[in-house]
Structure formats: structure tokens, C-alpha cells
Structure 1
Amino acid sequence: MPNIPTTADAISPPEVRRQDYAPPAWWIDTVDLTFDLDPAKTRVLNKMRLRRNPDVPVQPLRLDGDSLNLARVLVNGQGASFKLEGQQLVLSQLPEGDEAVELEIFTTCQPEKNTLLSGLFVSQGTFFTQCEAEGFRRITYFLDRPDVMSIYSVTLRASKAAYPVLLSNGNLVEQGDLDDGRHFARWHDPFRKPSYLFALVAGTLVAREQAIRARNGKEHLLQVYVRPGDLEKTEHAMQSLIASIVWDETRFGLPLDLDRFMIVATSDFNMGAMENKGLNIFNTKFVLASQATATDVDFANVESVVGHEYFHNWTGNRITCRDWFQLSLKEGLTVFRDQEFSMDMAGSASARAVKRIEDVRLLRTVQFAEDAGPQAHPVRPDAYQEINNFYTVTIYEKGAEVVRMMHTLVGEAGFQRGMKLYFERHDGQAVTCDDFAQAIADANPDSPLAQHLEPFKRWYSQAGTPHVHASGHYDSEQQTYTLHLTQSLTAPPGQPDRQAAVIPVKLGLLQADGQPVPLWLQTDDGEQDCGHEHTLVLHQSEQRITFGRIPQPPVPSLLRSFSAPVVLHQSLDDDALETLLQHDSDPFNRWEAGQQWAQRVMLEAIRQPHTEATDAPARLPERLVAALRQILREPQLDAAFKDLVLTLPSENYLAEQLDTVDPQRIHAVRQSLQQQLAQALHDDWRTLWEQHHDTGAYRPDAHSSGRRALAGKALFMLCLHASHTGEGIWPGKAYQQSKDANNMTDRFNALLALVHTHQPLAEAALARFHQQFHNEALVLDKWFSLQASVPDRQGDILPAVQQLMQHPDFTLKNPNRARSLIFTLCNANPAAFHRADGAGYQFWADQVIALNGLNAQVAARLARSLDAWRKLAEPYRSHANAALQRVASQKNLSKDVREIIEKSRT
């Protein structure tokens, strides 16, 4: 059975602090594992060769364990004296000096009862492992920390009929039959790795295989394993893997280093995927994709996640983290790499910009909120109670932005030099974020990064989001333009005061007619020709920069491509925003101008005193509508880019701009403006749908996906308009498309248009969709999620979600299914969740408590839905506080959930 913390343990979980890091007292050179696999009782024989760390004073060997039954301990083949202290196995009487020690430990565990999905577990009759961050200790006693790197050999034994496929890390050395209908497979991984990268899989699986030849002439076997019946949905995953291998070798010179590379998919998985050395285990959501069952977003996510996990082979596996505080060393760097991979795969500049915008939207909506809330922590945290709670957008997405800033400061060629030096220095080691930054700087000694390295590393150590305030002054006599930048670095509550960050600000200037202005930077040595774009390195609290030869007041285009993860404040009037929206050569800032313009209108309406007189809908300025209409009609723009420009800022993002949040008011204002866009641009939406809805044979490439996205937006807007006019033609077309579309993207876009605009045909379309796809688990997740995301009108969504929880196809035990319904309501549907009667918060508390008893990691992630409860207006705030108190009062809370709740209430 999984360990259930005692009340005392749950209330006061021990805190792990970065400053307390000490090297291990022992090294484990080799590990030889033998598994006799049985769902009820798996036997694990662990033979290790250890030696003392000569740099650490002599001390006992303390091995981590969790939920294990210990049967035998031998030292150098003899019985050994040991004791159990809490969850550690302690051996005190071991040989001293540099003599190697042969340690043998025999344990058993119960995989079929492991609902935590951490360690060794069974999913639908197949064995899987998940060892990051601390799951290996649930398999055998071990020094379960990332800086202990060992060579592993693994023998798997099991029933051949029940488990015909036996997989582990590295290369297959031997396999054969045993007595009594059993068989075995022996695997060897020639590369040292930490225990969190160990993996095994055993079950009835089928594989798509592809042999490839690397640039050095070496052949490799690629395999994607899935359950029988899913093989036809693996072609895209295989092609994504091949593309990832080619890209990493082409751009970074990093080749595949094993004879084979394997991906295995499971439907029961807490994470998206796991980069175990040579044996990546994936959530089915990021492997299975077919035209009939997956949307364009799903295809893109498969490509991105397959790339991410493969890229970890070098940035995470070959070089790993010294300790878990350095988690962003591998995750931030690898997210940057997968972002670059996706942009390179997209092709055109416009398509690349779409990817960048999507990444920034996630960062601003989720990570900026995290930075401003009770869970704020640095990219390199200083302390934690439960490491699983630090797999956050700060570690991943903000960590990637820190790497991207390094790339900006040293350039592409300089970054390549830095990566090469990083691998030369640290291949096969467990290192720190500082080691990575030092390598990039040392490879580029004349770069701004090297000049400001120590203050730059504050990005790793300081929590919170910097605010940059920009103002400009034009001198008509001197024909100069001076840009004045300041950075505001207010620390989050409980955090130490912040120091100035190093912030690269990419910028350009435009004339009023949109033409780019040549940049002549004034320096002490005269004028410097900067072309049409310059990167200012803001490294002080306040800086000024002046450009000469400016014949007229320019429009500043700042923070191009979102060159730093900051909040930019500048006072741009409608004229300036229109110039940027229509003419900026930087696609990100074109999109940003439209967002800022719409956001300004919406926030002004939201902030008005809440009376009947102000309940009248906010009005979209005709000038903004005209500018957006021109974007829609601009033929050279990518369709996906148009879709993003015409998407209003989300309710969650708007909430982040407010000191006091009334979710219902935000919802009403946004819905009103969206309805106005539907009406004002009705003719354009119709034209766009007619031009884009038929994309021919299905292809998930960026161009075709963009056309489908814009057609889907047009159909939604036409149905939204029809919901107010009673026009039936567009709901009818949507219903027909939901039945007859030749791909899931168009089918689901049509279903969403019907359901989200509350059309009479929605119920029939939902029933038909379920009937058609009731045997497709991932499609059913979409079906549940869609219904939980419907815009709330009269408090009807929460009861609908509660009813769906009783549906035969719903289960809390599967993380994907729980996320599809419960997380969608609590995290992605603010108006339905934040009810004035507090019912949404009580529902949240019910589900956190229920999930806590099943899967603490999933429960902890749901617990974060109320991170920002203190910003809520009344009566929401009091109801949210009551729900938090109810969860906090539970006696058997896991330490995962306890840490989140305590921080939220602090």
C-alpha cells in the first residue's frame, strides 16, 4: 500500500534547503538489478558496487526507501548489520578506506496497489516506472539523488504470455526463455546516469520500428511501443522522433548515442512524458495522433514533446542536475531547445512568430501569475518541502526565457560555442545552473553576458517578474530621440529585496507611416550605425539611450520578440498602437499592439464602479475594429497569426492586471467585446470561412493548421452572431461539419462553436460525438473538457460538471480524465468556477480531498487553482478562504498538498 503520512508528518514536513547541500558520502559505480515481475508481489534483487567518497568524512551509508518490504541485506556476500530509521536503510559497519563494497539488497513491492503512479506501477496490465524525482526509492533502497551516477545492468523476468515485451534502459544484451512459461531480457546502459532516469516496461505491446543511419554511418533502431490497436496512431510520433534526431545533430552537433531509442505510451501517467535514458515513457496524449482523433494542436504537441524528451538525452541525461534545486538546468534549457525546434519546423517567419506568441501567452498568463502569488519561487529555488511541487512554469518556461536571454546576449554563433564548451567540460557530470551560465559566458568573453555575468545570474536566484517602465523624449532641434528605461523590482511577499536584473531589450523605431527608422546610436565615441534594430542591455535601475538623425517623433517598438520575461509599461496612444499593429516589422509586437489596445478598453470597463449604470457593455472603438479588419484582409499574413491577433486577452490574463478581481465582471466585459467583434466583422468572418474551411487532404503542417484555425475562429464568430440574431444557417453548417469533417480539428472546431455559443443543436452534436468516439480515451478527454469550458450564463456549468462526474466514462483514477473535467473547470473557466455562492470552491475542495487519497501529485496541482484567492473581491474571497481552511483541516493530507495549501494561506 502507498505510505500515508501521519498527522504530525503532514502538518510539519521537513524543509530541504539548497544551502545545506553536501556531496554524497558514497558513490555507487555499478548497479545490477534483477526483477521478477508480478503485479501483486514483484521481487527486486539489487547488487551494487560502492565506494566511499574520499572528499567526505567517514559516515554510515544511508539508503532511501519507500513502501518496500526488506527481505535480505548482504555485504561482500555476508550477512550484514543494519537498521531502519524512518524510511532509510542505514549500514554503519562497512569497510573503511577506498576499498569497493559489494552490497546486495533483496526487497519486494506491490505494483498493482501503487495508485501514486510513482516508482513501479501497473497500468491496464502493463508494468511501468516513473522515477523522477524520487520514485526509484519505491523500487529498491538506493542513494536516490541526482548527483549519484551509475552504470546500470538490468535483468527482467516475467510470464511470457502476460508480458511478452520486456524493456529497460540502454542496449539489449540478451533474451531468452525460462522454465514455467517465463522469459527474460537483459539490458545494459553504457552511460552513467542518476536513479531518476531508470526505467522498465513490461507488457503486451506492439511497436512501430524505423532503422536510421546517422551522419557518422552508425545505424540505430527507433521504436514506438503502444497497446495493440493504437499502432496506426504512431506515425507522427515516429516522424517527430526522426526530425528531432536530425535537428539536434544538425543544429547542435549532438548525435544519438545508443544502438536504439524507444518510446512507450501509457494512459496512466502523472506527467506529459519522461526522458529515461533511451527508454522514454510518455502519456498517450503526446504519442497517439491520427487525422480522425487528434487536432492540429495535438499533432504540434506530439512533435514538441517528443522533441523535448529526446533533447533531454544530452541536456539532462548526459549532463544532469547536481541537486533538485538545479532542476531548470535541464528543464529550462530543454524547453528552450524544443521551442527552437518547433519554430525551425514551422518554417516561415510568420509561423515562427505564432509559436513565439503562443509561448509568451503561456508565460504571461500562468508564470507571471505564479511569480505574483504565494507560490512564487526563483528559477533556482532555495528550499522545498516536496520536490514534485517544483515542476512549475517558473522552472520550465521562465527557465527557458533565461536561456533565451543568454542566446540574445551572445548571438546564435556564440550560443553554439557556449554549448560546445558546456559539453566539453561537463559531459557525464551532475552540475549546476551556474556551471551552464559560466560555460556560455566563457565561450563569449567579449559579450554583454560575460560583462554582466554575476548580475545576470540573479535571474536564477530572485523570484518575481521585473517591471520595465519606458518613456521617450523627442528633441526637434537636435533631431534626437532619447529613451528612458527604469526597472521596478518589488519582491514578492516573504522574499528578500531584489537587485537590478540584466534585461536585453530589443528595440526599433517607426515613423508615423510605419516605415522603419535607421538607428544612429549616440555614444561617447560618436555615432554608431545599428541598422533598424538594436538590443539595449538594461543592467541598472535606470538607463537612457539616445538616437540621432531622427527627422520626426518616432513610434517606439520595444521588447521585440519578447526579448526578456518582464512586464513593459509604456504610454502609447491609439495612433502609436495602430502604427505598430499595422506596420511593425516584428510580428510579435504587431500582435502585442492589438492586445494592448483591446486590453486597455476592457480594463477601463472592468474598473468602472459596479452599478446598474455601468453594466452597459463596453464598446470596442471603431478605430480598433477597422485596424483588426485590415489585419484580416492582409493577404501576406499567416492565417494562424490572424487568428491570434483576433483573439482577445483571456479572462485569466485580465485578472492578473487587476488589484481586485471580480471574475463575473471580467467575464461579462470580455463576452460583450467578443460579441461586438462577431457582429462588426460579420462579413469578413463569412469570407474567411469560405476561403479557409476547405483545406483539402489533411496535413498537420503549420500553413494548413493555420488555415483550419482561422476557419474555426470564423465559424465560432458566425455562430456567436447567430445566437443573438436567431440566424440558423451557421449553426446548421457547424452541425453538418461536426458530422462530416474529414479530420478532428474541423470536427471539434464545429462542435466547440455549437456548444460554446449555446446553440440548440449542441446537445445532439455532443451525443453524436460521444457515440462515435466513446472507445477513444483521448477524444473522450476532449469531450469532457469541452463541456467544462462552456462560458457560464446562469450558473449552469458547475452542475453540468458534477453530473458528468457520474458519467460511466469518468474516473478520478486516471490523471488525464481528471484533468480534462475538473482542472478545466477550476483553471480555465473562471466565471463558472468563481461563483458568488462559493459552490465552485466547495467543489474544488471536494476534489482536492478525493484526489489526495488517490494521487498526491495530481491533487497538489489542482490545489493551486486558488493561488490568487486573496485578490478576489467579496464575496468570492471569503468563500475561497473557507474552502482552503476545509482542505487544510484534513488530517491525512499528503505533504504535496499540505505545502501548497499552507503557502496559499500564508
Structure 2
Amino acid sequence: GQSNKLPQHIPFDIELIDAEGHSLVNQVLDFKEQSQQFVFEDVKAKPVASLLQDFSAPVKLSVKYSIEQLLHLMRFANSEVAKWEASVALFSQSIWQCVDNLQNGKAMHIDSRLVDGFKGVLLSENLNEALMAEILTLTSAGSLIEQTDSIDLDNLALARQFAVLQIAQGCEEELLAKVRQLQSLDSADARALKNVCLSLLLNVDDSYRELAKQQFESSDNMTDTLGALTALNGETSLDRNQLMNAFETRWLETPLAMDKWLSLHATFASKDCIGQLEQLLKHDAFSMSNPNRVRSLIGVFAAANTFEFHRKDAKGYEFLTKAIIKLNKVNPQVAARIITPLIQFKKYDLARQALMRKSLQEILAINDLSKDLYEKVTKALS
């Protein structure tokens, strides 16, 4: 039976780092018993431990690190994954602290050490550009939601916006220097990092819109063109609309480019987003019978545009529901895939839960509901 399962072999990759940043131990421990003890000799003071490095085993680990320990791992861990994981934990902890403050009627506050940690990444001489870009791609709302069973979405929106702004303002000088430094470099990693920095700068001041526009106009590659558009995708503006139209004209005959263009519309962080998506359903480049187009526009909206999808007026849920009802006839497999954000309603506040349930019941009531959709919806509602 399940009650007397034998211990599994878990290869547990560990690094112990001293106060000066030296690696004292860096090895894989073999966990084979129910309970085991490992002794490391010549460790003079309590080190910071980097645990289960590089996903050495498919297990979940729960560890509570202090801000100081996370900064230490970001700076000194040998494993790139450990550095990145520490940055995610540092940013996430700050967000949840801000949410907690808001729930208790207190002002939001970001520890200055958080900003220093990200500034250290930008100033580091031994981090490669790909890793820098990963670390500076701050954890999305969707990934933050995955960390918890119950979510206060309205306060999460305020907290994440506040934290991103604090980091961007605190690192403004370094971000701008990095954009300028990478301007003439052609590698994919350099471009990725430059575009992440550009996006962060646009949180600080509208004057950086000009920088994004210049990049779009002088770009000779898709990465920089999309990087500029992504940076401008935060709010409605004449710049954004003109450049989105210019991109469409230039790349209309390139399927992959148009998928990306639709995804940018889908992740548009503005109250105008849904109105634009409804117009795009009638666009020549969109078809309900093209799975890539459906995923790029409707799937990406529901999965990645968290705050617009979960609008309190239910417009986000209604948009997805109508699309799924149409897709049930045309491509039920794709419909069953993109419904996922709607069936995760139990994480949200009661008002949103009621609206999401209403949408699911509407889907359940249609004639000839496909087997895949029927199973997913009934399971969620049960």
C-alpha cells in the first residue's frame, strides 16, 4: 500500500558559501534513506546553503531565506539557476510583503537592499548577458499567482506595479548605461538584455518612449523591433498604435511575425485591450480555424494578461467564453487547452469566482459540447 512506500533515491545538489563568497562545499548528496545526516568538516561559521541546485531532482523544496541570504546567493552562487531562483524569491517576497501591508492598511515599502541586488546584477562583470536578462525579467503576475492558493488580485496589481517602479527608478542610471552599451551588439543575448532594460526604463519616465521609437525605426531585426513594441505595450498611446500598424504592414505575409503581433495585442496592459481584441477577431490575419492564431490572440490574453482577463466587470471572462463556444465547433482541442485560466477560479475572491463559474456554466449549457471541454468544465465545477 501507499502507507509504506520505500524511500526514493534523490540526488541533492548542494553548495555551501561562506561570508566572503567562497565555495566551501559543492557536491551532490545521495538521499536514499527516510532520514539521513551529512557532516561537513572545517566549516568555521554558518554558511549560506544553495539547495537542490540546477533542479537535480524532481521534488519541491520549501526553504525560507532571509533577504541577506538571497542577496548572497544572487552574488556568489556558482549555479546560474541558483542565482536566478534567488532573484525570483527576493522579488516575490517583496511583493507579498507589499500585499500584506495593503491588506493591513499600511503603506507599501520596498527594502532598499532589493534595489541594490538588481543594481548589482547590472553592474556585475562576471554575469553573462543571457542570465542578466533572465534575472531582470521580473516575475510575472501569472507566476506570482502560481505561488499561492488564494490570491488578492487587486492588491497584487498595486504591489507588483509599485515594486517594478521602485527597481526601475533605483536602477535608472545603470539600465540606461546598459541599453547604450549594448546598442551596437548583435548577439541574441545582448539584444534580449537591452530590450529587458528598455522595458524597465519605460516604467520610470515617458521620455524613454522616444528611445523605444528610435529603436523600432532603426531596427534591422525582428528581436529589436518586437523589443521596442513590447516596451511600449503598457498603455494606449499614439506611438504604440502607429508602430503596431507599421509592424503589421511590414510583416503581414510572415506567419510567425503575425503570431507575435497578435500576442502583443493580447498582452496589451490597458483597459482598451478587450475592445481591440474584439476588432482583431475580424482581422484578415485572424481565423478561428488556425490554432496558432487562436493561441496567440485568445490563449495568450487569458493566460498572460492577468489583470485585464480578471477585470471586475467580467469582460475578460465574457471574451474568452464567447471564443470557446465558437471553438467548440471548429477546434475543440484548442478550446480545451485555452480554457485553463477560467477553471482555476477557486484561487480568486468570491466576486470573481461567481463570475468565472457563471462563464463555465454558460459553456456547459451549450449543445454538442466536446468531450474534452465537458470533462474539464464538470471537473472544475464539481
CA distance in 1, matches of 2:269, 2:4: 40
Q: Which residue of 1 aligns with 2:115?
A: 625
- Conserved 8 A contact 2:118-2:167: no
- Conserved 8 A contact 2:11-2:28: no
Q: Which residue of 1 aligns with 2:50?
A: 557
- Conserved 8 A contact 2:21-2:76: yes
**Could you give the per-residue CA deviations for residues 187-209 of structure 1, whole angstroms, max 9, x where no partner exists?**
xxxxxxxxxxxxxxxxxxxxxxx
Q: Which amino acid aligns with 1:576?
A: Q
Q: How many Å apart are 1:866 and its aligned residue?
A: 2.1
Match of 1:533 among 15, 27, 45: 27
Call closer, same or farther: CA 1:665–1:497 in 2, change over 3 Å. Answer: farther
**Could you give the per-residue CA deviations for residues 715-735 of structure 1, whole angstroms, max 9, x where no partner exists?**
112222123xxx2xx312211
Q: Which residue of 2 aligns with 1:679?
A: 169
CA distance in 2, matches of 1:537, 1:579: 26
Q: Which residue of 1 aligns with 2:297?
A: 821
Is it true that 1:580 corresponds to 2:73 in the alignment? yes
Match of 2:11 among 504, 514, 539: 504
Q: Which residue of 2 aligns with 1:830?
A: 306
Greater Rg, structure 1 or structure 2?
Answer: 1
CA distance in 1, matches of 2:292, 2:276: 19
Match of 1:736 among 200, 204, 214: 214
Call closer, same or farther: CA 1:757–1:798 in 2, change over 3 Å. Answer: closer
Call closer, same or farther: CA 1:662–1:801 in 2, change over 3 Å. Answer: farther
- Conserved 8 A contact 1:731-1:759: no
Q: Which residue of 1 aligns with 2:200?
A: 717
Q: Which residue of 1 aligns with 2:231?
A: 753
Q: Which amino acid aligns with 1:764?
A: Q
Call closer, same or farther: CA 1:886–1:600 in 2, change over 3 Å. Answer: same
- Conserved 8 A contact 1:505-1:538: no
Q: How many Å apart are 1:571 and its aligned residue?
A: 2.5
Task: Report the secondary structure of 2:109's partner residue.
Answer: coil
Call closer, same or farther: CA 1:871–1:630 in 2, change over 3 Å. Answer: same
CA distance in 1, matches of 2:235, 2:167: 14
CA distance in 2, matches of 1:791, 1:544: 50
- Conserved 8 A contact 1:504-1:535: yes
Match of 2:350 among 860, 874, 888: 874
Q: Which amino acid aligns with 2:333?
A: Q
Q: Which amino acid aligns with 2:343?
A: D
Q: Which residue of 1 aligns with 2:265?
A: 787
Is it true that 1:654 corresponds to 2:161 in the alignment? no
Call closer, same or farther: CA 1:574–1:863 in 2, change over 3 Å. Answer: closer
- Conserved 8 A contact 2:332-2:372: yes
- Conserved 8 A contact 1:603-1:654: no
Task: Report the secondary structure of 1:835's partner residue.
Answer: coil
Call closer, same or farther: CA 1:680–1:759 in 2, change over 3 Å. Answer: farther
Match of 2:275 among 767, 777, 799: 799
CA distance in 1, matches of 2:275, 2:290: 22
Match of 2:325 among 849, 856, 868: 849
Runs of 4+ with >6 A deviation: none
CA distance in 2, matches of 1:599, 1:538: 32
CA distance in 2, matches of 1:867, 1:607: 26
CA distance in 2, matches of 1:760, 1:891: 44
Q: Which amino acid aligns with 2:356?
A: A
- Conserved 8 A contact 2:73-2:86: yes
Match of 2:97 among 597, 600, 604: 604
**Could you give the per-residue CA deviations for residues 334-358 of structure 1, whole angstroms, max 9, x where no partner exists?**
xxxxxxxxxxxxxxxxxxxxxxxxx
**Could you give the per-residue CA deviations for residues 789-817 of structure 1, whole angstroms, max 9, x where no partner exists?**
0224xx33222212221223221111111
Higher strand fraction (1 or 2): 1
Identity of matched residues, %: 29
Q: How many Å apart are 1:580 and its aligned residue?
A: 1.0
Q: How many Å apart are 1:672 and its aligned residue?
A: 1.6
- Conserved 8 A contact 2:98-2:110: no
Q: Which amino acid aligns with 1:679?
A: Q
Task: Report the secondary structure of 1:507's partner residue.
Answer: strand
- Conserved 8 A contact 2:310-2:316: yes
- Conserved 8 A contact 2:151-2:347: yes
Matched pairs, number: 381
In the superposition, the TM-score normalised over structure 1's length comes to: 0.41
Call closer, same or farther: CA 1:572–1:536 in 2, change over 3 Å. Answer: farther
Call closer, same or farther: CA 1:683–1:576 in 2, change over 3 Å. Answer: same
- Conserved 8 A contact 1:507-1:536: no
**Could you give the per-residue CA deviations for residues 284-343 of structure 1, whole angstroms, max 9, x where no partner exists?**
xxxxxxxxxxxxxxxxxxxxxxxxxxxxxxxxxxxxxxxxxxxxxxxxxxxxxxxxxxxx
CA distance in 2, matches of 1:582, 1:641: 12
Q: How many Å apart are 1:778 and its aligned residue?
A: 2.0
Q: Which consecutive residues of structure 2, in runs of 5 or more, have no partner in the other structure?
A: none
Q: How many Å apart are 1:640 and its aligned residue?
A: 1.2
- Conserved 8 A contact 1:513-1:579: no
Q: Which residue of 1 aligns with 2:184?
A: 694
CA distance in 2, matches of 1:635, 1:579: 16
Q: How many Å apart are 1:537 and its aligned residue?
A: 1.8
Q: Which residue of 2 aligns with 1:901?
A: 377
CA distance in 2, matches of 1:868, 1:901: 10
- Conserved 8 A contact 1:625-1:677: yes
Call closer, same or farther: CA 1:786–1:553 in 2, change over 3 Å. Answer: same
- Conserved 8 A contact 2:145-2:151: yes
Q: How many Å apart are 1:608 and its aligned residue?
A: 4.1
Is it true that 1:644 corresponds to 2:126 in the alignment? no
**Could you give the per-residue CA deviations for residues 685-736 of structure 1, whole angstroms, max 9, x where no partner exists?**
111011112224xxxxxxx11100111112112222123xxx2xx3122112
Task: Report the secondary structure of 1:627's partner residue.
Answer: helix
CA distance in 2, matches of 1:705, 1:870: 40
Task: Report the secondary structure of 1:591's partner residue.
Answer: helix
Higher helix fraction (1 or 2): 2
Q: How many Å apart are 1:543 and its aligned residue?
A: 3.8
Q: Which amino acid aligns with 1:595?
A: V
Task: Report the secondary structure of 1:836's partner residue.
Answer: coil
CA distance in 2, matches of 1:812, 1:665: 35
